[in-house]
Amino acid sequence: MSQARQPLLEALRAAHVRLGLAAVIAAGVVLTMVSFLTLRTYVEQNLTLVARSIAYSAEAATVFNDSAAATEIVTLIARQEGLLSASIVRRGGAPLASYVRDRAAPVDATFARVGTLFFPLQATAPITNQGAECGQVTVQGNGGVYLMFLLKVVAAVAVCMAVIAWWVSRLSLRIESDIVSPLNSLASLTRTARTERALGLRAPPAVVQEIHTLGEDFNALLAEIQAREAELVAKHDSLMTANESLSFLAFHDSLTGLPNRASFLQHASRALFASRGRASKVAILFVDSDNFKSVNDRLGHAAGDDVLIETARRIRALLRESDVVARLGGDEFAVLLAPIRGTDDATRIAAEIAAALRVSVTSAKFGSIESSASIGVAVFPGHGATVEALLLAADAAMYRAKTQQPGTYWMFDPVLDGQTITGLA
């Protein structure tokens, strides 16, 4: 069972989100605690200052036991500072003045009660005259005010956390753009290059140095593979060309470009096999130059080569695409006519070839060269059942033509040419 693997983007996002949330929560907790402790210290100090302010302002009223003046001072300052209550007690415990805030709305009362759980809302301050204590001031702060302030601080921290969370998400997108997307592109390119052999693809530049270096290395590897594959293809093409050249040379004559004896035997064997049991026939013509040896002796082998090349060209020009002319060796040529309807087709082509070869060969170097060829004709199946038998029959008929009337053709005659075949065999 294959193990499920987590995508890189999902893994990075999960790690980034966990790290971001931990950082945001830690920052929120720290900011909230610092704000709370700071506010708590401020509340304590503020209440102490308010108590001292009342003690300073009501000093004279306390010394002279003026309850009305003391009450006026306490009420004025208490209302300005939003206190719940404030009182002045003379030395000995006798009350001099007091203030109690009017009954607040239920919500304010609830906030005030909750505020008492978080903040020290009571402070005292002595009233002194000439260094002697003559009374004491006690104040009770409004916890709802401080709780609302704390909630505002918490809300501000929450906004900051939201901004940080948004920034973390932006960083996650940046990670996707700079890291994950280039890696996905590189993986896709690798898969395409492997499955489709698209070695011309290249990885684009990346923002991250390590990914860019990886892409450059991959591009270099692709270029090297592409170069080696091109080299292999070139070598393969060269070998194919060499093999084709060798194959051509193995079955063709290098001078005339015609098929050689081996190739002719193959074509003739296939033609005989294809015609067995059919009404069509196959003919083989044996062509031999009449004065080739004298041309070589008088003008040299180059002139003889010109005669052979021109002979091959003239014969080929008179044949169909399905017919084959081959150079058997020296000045001997063989023609395969397949299929034909009867001997008349064979004799007609033989007559045309003989007439064409009686025309002098014009050589650029040697001028006009007299030339002719004798032709023997043998037809399958009447003159032989195999290629070798037909070649012997056509050769015998050619020999008779050469000895009796050079430059013409003769059809094989078993009676006249049979002794010649026995001699050749």
Give the model confidence (pLDDT) of 116-170 as tens digits.
666 667 888 898 888 788 889 988 877 666 667 777 777 887 887 778 777 777 7
Is residue 225 located within the same domain as residue 276?
no
Specify the amino acid at residue 112: A
Contact 353, 318 (CB under 8 A): yes
Task: Just list the catalytic residues.
Answer: 331
241 and 278 in a single domain? The answer is no
Tokens at residue 348, please?
């007609």
Place of tokens 């999902």: 10
Give yes or no: residues 275 and 237 share one domain.
no
CB environment 241-279: b (16+ within 10 A), e (fewer) = eeeeeeeeeebbbeebebbbbebbbebbeebbeebeeee
Q: Are residues 237 and 337 in the same domain?
A: no
Tell me whether residue 233 is in a domain.
Answer: yes
pLDDT at residue 144, rounded to an integer: 64
Confirm if 420 and 403 have CB atoms less than 8 A apart. no
Look up the pTM and report it. Answer: 0.49
* Dist. CA 351–CA 359, nearest whole Å: 13
* Distance separating alpha carbons of residues 230 and 226, to the nearest angstrom: 6
In a domain, 186, yes or no: no
How many separate domains does the chain show?
Answer: 3
Whether the per-residue pLDDT at 355 is higher than 90: the answer is: yes
Q: Is residue 175 part of a domain?
A: no
One domain for residues 18 and 115 = yes
Average pLDDT over the chain, rounded to whole? 83
Long-range pairs, 17-26, Cβ under 8 A, ≥24: 17/168, 17/172, 20/164, 20/165, 20/168, 20/171, 21/165, 21/168, 23/164, 24/161, 24/164, 24/165, 24/168, 25/161
- DSSP-assigned beta bridge partners for residue 259: 252
Q: Is 59 within a domain? A: yes
Nearest to 304 by CA among 322, 291, 314, 317: 291
**Confidence bin at 425 (pLDDT 50/70/90):** very low
- Do 145 and 245 fall into the same domain? no
Q: How many CB atoms lie within 10 A of CB 105?
A: 9
Q: How far apart are CA 123 and CA 49, in angstroms?
A: 9
Question: Based on the domain organization, do 311 and 331 belong to the same domain?
Answer: yes
Q: Are residues 39 and 124 in the same domain?
A: yes
Which of 30-34, 67-71, 329-333 has the weakest average pLDDT? 30-34
The DSSP letter of residue 406 is T
Containing structural domain, residue 228: 199-251
317, part of any domain: yes
Rounded-to-integer distance, Cα 381 and Cα 384, Å: 5
Helix (H, G, I), strand (E, B) or coil at 376: strand
Residue range 111-120, pLDDT digits in tens? 556 656 666 6
Question: Coil, strand, or helix at residue 208?
Answer: coil
Range with the poorest average pLDDT among 9-13, 219-223, 413-417: 9-13
Q: Among 162, 190, 223, which residue terminates a domain? A: 162
Question: 306 and 402: one domain?
Answer: yes
**Interacting residues of 60 by C-beta distance below 8 A, sequence separation 6+:** 66, 69
Q: Is residue 320 part of a domain?
A: yes
- Distance from C-alpha of 284 to C-alpha of 273, rounded to nearest angstrom: 14
The confidence band for 10, taking pLDDT boundaries of 50, 70 and 90, is low
Q: Hey, what are 260's tokens?
A: 């050689």
Q: Are residues 273 and 409 in the same domain?
A: yes
- What are 254's two structure tokens? 């290098």
With beta carbons less than 8 A apart as the criterion, state whether 112 and 144 touch: yes
